[in-house]
Structure 1
């Protein structure tokens, strides 16, 4: 009975180790990447009391490069007027800005050459009278 339990625990441990080896560890971003994220955050206008995942929505690869920004439904309004820090996240693959209120969608998004997923669903755009 004890041997069977020991074998089961060994098997589970082996599966966990294999899982950790084959999948990136998220959350350990490089210092320069953290600085860019902080600059981006400081450039956003949002209700911090309603924000639930501005930092938890960030995922980095094993080397510390930001790969994912999940910023959907974060009460961002007047968001990306000065988005240079966003465009410096050159490893960004996924950007989710759904359910926010933005003044515009920057054309410079094309500079994010690794971006494969962009969610702008239900983004409310505030157009100025000269934009029509």
Structure 2
């Protein structure tokens, strides 16, 4: 089936609208070391797997930029981590792989219960502009 020439003329403005409004979204694939840090974090955190809605689904065979609670840049760097109300009970200390996520800009750990002092290694996250530790049971 041939499309008449004048029909293509109608497609040009429509395609330019898609591009100008950012409807074509480009997302990078998760960088391998970033995914490794996240999987290591998952394995060191103590959390209730029956109540977790995000951590429990993190799977090494799926690109980490597609994981719920993870936001990536176009380059595939992890820039956001939302672990709000994930029933985390322990496992965040100064040796945590969380602090290797150097591009992290947003971090939400609210409504968990870590039962530990606030790790001093948060200082390593130089790009962090949003940090939520509300009701996270940090001591000291």
- TM-score > 0.5, shorter chain as reference: yes
Using the TM superposition, give the Cα deviation of residue 14 of structure 1 relative to its aligned residue in structure 2, in angstroms: 3.6
Find out whether 1:53 has 2:65 as its counterpart: no
Matching residue within 128, 131, 140 for 1:118? 131
Find the aligned partners of 1:49 and 1:13 in 2 and give their Cα distance.
45
| TM norm structure 2 | 0.73
1:17–1:119 CA distance, 2 compared to 1 (3 A): same
Find the aligned partners of 1:11 and 1:83 in 2 and give their Cα distance.
54
Structure 1: segments with no counterpart, 5+ residues: none
1:47-71 Cα shifts (integer Å, max 9, x gaps) = 1121112340011111111000000
Using the TM superposition, give the Cα deviation of residue 20 of structure 1 relative to its aligned residue in structure 2, in angstroms: 4.7
Using the TM superposition, give the Cα deviation of residue 107 of structure 1 relative to its aligned residue in structure 2, in angstroms: 1.1
Find the aligned partners of 1:48 and 1:15 in 2 and give their Cα distance.
44
Q: Assess if the C-alpha contact under 8 Å between 2:109 and 2:133 holds in 1.
A: yes
CA RMSD of aligned residues (A): 2.5
Q: Assess if the C-alpha contact under 8 Å between 1:37 and 1:85 holds in 2.
A: yes
The equivalent residue for 1:31 is 32
| TM norm structure 1 | 0.77
Find out whether 1:77 has 2:83 as its counterpart: no
SS of equivalent to 2:47: coil
Matching residue within 52, 76, 98 for 2:110? 98
How many aligned positions are there?
Answer: 121
1:51–1:16 CA distance, 2 compared to 1 (3 A): farther
Q: Assess if the C-alpha contact under 8 Å between 2:94 and 2:119 holds in 1.
A: no
1:43–1:17 CA distance, 2 compared to 1 (3 A): same
Find the aligned partners of 2:113 and 2:129 in 1 and give their Cα distance.
22
The equivalent residue for 2:41 is 40
